[in-house]
């Protein structure tokens, strides 16, 4: 059954009252200085969602306020990864049944998570009306966040492109697998050639050593330097670690239950790299830009 777009009022509102409320409050955003970062990959199965969960937890341990947006519409799993059972999800917001603040749940370390809906195929292709409703809700968030991390789906579908272009920073997760390498390049090529994105960060996951990670990055950079007009930066690497796999089995972030594991140390180094970006290199009003881009207004 196809999901029908509705404008059902919340229990205490009429649809017209809600529309007026949106109109009067759009862009009164308290999170305007947050950095909006998409964590993406050209290929599935590279540990992207695990990366998001652990970056979020590690950032929270550094005193940062974090919102994780599960934008893998149709195959959501960050709540499962962290052992959470949210009652509501992004689908309820898109369909006009719940407010964003009612859907967001609190995860480990105080991180806030906006869960997506798992297994609903129709949500992988949002209408413009649904996108506008979603972004109207984003504009009404009360809490000031330092980072908004977007866990995109893998590949180059419309919604993957959509959320990557809306973010101010893009982290491409790559594994030492030839298909991961080629798919990572394909994703950057589409975003660059078709849509003009020209700044990317590479995070090399599941490697045996830093040397292996640097070798993979250099090979990727050589190809992008030759064929694409982009800037590709090395953000860091995650070492292959049995503790990380054990944490996944236990439905926890490895940075939470094994903070001294070798993979955890890698995550903490990466968040330090993120936090040490010079202010001049961070685009201002990232949430404002995020909302404008998702509404198709650009900047």
The C-alpha atoms of residue 104 and residue 102 are separated, in whole angstroms, by 6
At 4, the pLDDT band (50, 70, 90 cuts) reads: very low
For residue 12, is pLDDT > 50?
no
At 77, the pLDDT band (50, 70, 90 cuts) reads: confident
Q: Of 160 and 240, which is predicted with more confidence?
A: 240
Model confidence, pTM: 0.84
Comparing 48-57, 196-205, 273-282, the range with the smallest average pLDDT is 273-282
For residue 30, is pLDDT > 90?
no
Q: Of 144 and 46, which is predicted with more confidence?
A: 46
Spatial CB neighbours of 65, under 8 Å, sequence gap ≥ 6: 110, 112, 143, 144, 145, 146, 147
Structural tokens at position 117: 């809906």
Predicted pLDDT at 58? 97
Separation in Å, CA 237 to CA 59, 187, 263: 16, 19, 9
For residue 247, is pLDDT > 60?
yes
In the chain, what are the domain boundaries? 31-294
Kindly state the helix (H) or strand (E) to which residue 174 belongs, with its residue range. Answer: strand 169-174
Comparing 45-49, 119-123, 246-250, 264-268, the range with the smallest average pLDDT is 119-123
Separation in Å, CA 93 to CA 9, 100, 170, 208, 279: 12, 6, 25, 42, 34
207: left (phi > 0), else alpha (psi -120 to 50), else beta?
beta
Closest CA to 81 of 55, 123, 49, 120: 49
User: Could you read off the pLDDT of 142-172 as tens digits, one per residue?
Assistant: 568 899 999 998 888 887 888 898 888 999 9
Predicted pLDDT at 234? 97
Q: Once rounded to an integer, what is the mean pLDDT over residues 254-278?
A: 94
At 280, the pLDDT band (50, 70, 90 cuts) reads: low
For residue 51, is pLDDT > 90?
yes
Whether 168 and 286 have beta carbons less than 8 Å apart is answered as: yes
At 13, the pLDDT band (50, 70, 90 cuts) reads: very low
Predicted pLDDT at 45? 87
For residue 32, is pLDDT > 60?
no
At 96, the pLDDT band (50, 70, 90 cuts) reads: confident
The class (CATH top level) of 31-294 is: alpha beta
Q: Of 260 and 24, which is predicted with more confidence?
A: 260
């Amino acid at each position: 059954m196809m999901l029908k777009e509705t404008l059902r009022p919340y229990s205490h509102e009429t649809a017209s009252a809600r529309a007026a409320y949106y109109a009067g409050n759009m862009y009164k955003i308290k999170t305007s200085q947050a950095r909006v970062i998409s964590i993406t990959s050209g290929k599935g199965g590279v540990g992207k969602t695990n990366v998001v969960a652990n970056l979020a937890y590690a950032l929270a341990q550094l005193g940062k306020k974090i919102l994780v947006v599960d934008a893998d519409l149709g195959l959501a799993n960050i709540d499962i990864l962290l052992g959470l059972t949210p009652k509501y999800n992004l689908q309820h917001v898109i369909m006009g049944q719940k407010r964003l603040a009612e859907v967001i749940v609190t995860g480990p370390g105080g991180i806030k998570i906006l869960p997506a809906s798992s297994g609903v195929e129709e949500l992988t292709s949002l209408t413009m009306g649904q996108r506008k409703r979603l972004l109207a809700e984003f504009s009404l968030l009360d809490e000031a966040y330092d980072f908004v991390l977007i866990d995109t789906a893998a590949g180059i579908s419309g919604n993957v492109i959509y959320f990557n272009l809306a973010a101010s920073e893009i982290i491409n997760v790559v594994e030492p697998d030839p298909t991961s390498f080629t798919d990572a390049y394909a994703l950057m090529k589409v975003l660059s050639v078709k849509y003009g994105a020209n700044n990317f960060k590479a995070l090399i996951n599941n490697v045996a050593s830093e040397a292996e990670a640097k070798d993979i990055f250099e090979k990727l950079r050589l190809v992008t330097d030759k064929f694409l007009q982009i800037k590709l930066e090395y953000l860091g690497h995650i070492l292959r670690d049995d503790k990380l796999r054990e944490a996944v089995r236990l439905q926890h972030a490895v940075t939470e239950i094994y903070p001294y594991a070798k993979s955890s140390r890698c995550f903490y180094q990466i968040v330090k790299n993120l936090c040490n970006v010079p202010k001049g290199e961070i685009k201002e009003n990232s949430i404002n830009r995020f909302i404008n881009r998702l509404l198709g207004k650009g900047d």
